[in-house]
């Protein structure tokens, strides 16, 4: 059964706001871990939005370049995506560190460390979420089989 468009919009807005809140919390936690006083919630959310917008733009450009070169050397789409993700990482770190330098007044390597910690914590939270979904799914399926 297909959901109506307005439900997709509602779920998208709510999911986007929850994602922004989680990303802001992770950014503030990464600032705390590097002994930097994190900015207020609103400024932190703005920094996360700006950094995300710049990094997504960089990732799209790198993906287009890698996929274009990948087609020239007959690279599969899956390997092009993996190569693009790996190739975009240094650019993401560079752009985030420069943004953090100007917006929260830290040195370059401290800004890079904040982004790395933020990304690692985000990956850990995502993995925990996936494991929770798998666990609930498994338990629900086993209960269904018992009945």
Per-residue pLDDT tens over the stretch 42-76:
999 999 999 999 999 999 999 999 888 888 888 88
DSSP class of residue 34 equals T
Question: How far, in whole angstroms, is CA 68 from its chain's centroid?
Answer: 24
pLDDT score of 3 = 79
Average pLDDT, the chain: 92
CB-side neighbour CA atoms (13 Å) of 120: 9
Give the pTM: 0.83
**Which tens digits make up the pLDDT trace of 89-113?**
999 999 999 999 999 999 999 999 9
pLDDT bucket at 80, cuts 50 / 70 / 90: confident
Q: Do residues 50 and 99 lie in contact, with contact meaning Cβ atoms separated by under 8 Å?
A: yes
pLDDT at 29 over 90: yes
- Tell me the pLDDT band of 4, cut-offs 50, 70 and 90: confident
Strand ranges for the chain from DSSP E: none
How many whole angstroms separate alpha carbon 30 and alpha carbon 24? 10
Q: Taking Cα atoms as reference points, which of 21, 25, 98 lies closest to residue 58?
A: 98
Instruction: Work out the end-to-end distance of the chain between its first and last CA atoms, rounded to an integer number of angstroms.
Output: 25
Rg of the chain over Cα atoms, rounded to whole angstroms, equals 19
39 closest CA partner among 90, 99, 91, 123:
99
Give me 37's structure tokens.
């006083």
């Amino acid at each position: 059964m297909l959901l109506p468009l307005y439900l997709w919009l509602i779920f998208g807005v709510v999911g986007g706001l929850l994602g922004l809140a989680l990303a802001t919390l992770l950014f503030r936690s990464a600032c705390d871990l590097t002994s930097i006083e994190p900015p207020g919630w609103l400024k932190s959310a703005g920094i996360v939005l700006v950094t995300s917008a710049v990094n997504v733009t960089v990732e799209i450009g790198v993906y287009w370049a890698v996929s274009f070169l990948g087609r020239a050397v007959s690279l599969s789409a899956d390997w092009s995506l993996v190569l693009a993700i790996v190739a975009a990482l240094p650019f993401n770190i560079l752009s985030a560190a420069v943004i953090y330098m100007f917006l929260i007044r830290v040195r370059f390597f401290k800004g890079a460390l904040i982004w790395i910690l933020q990304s690692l914590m985000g990956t850990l939270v995502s993995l925990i979420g996936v494991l929770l979904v798998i666990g609930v799914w498994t338990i629900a399926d086993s209960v269904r089989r018992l009945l």
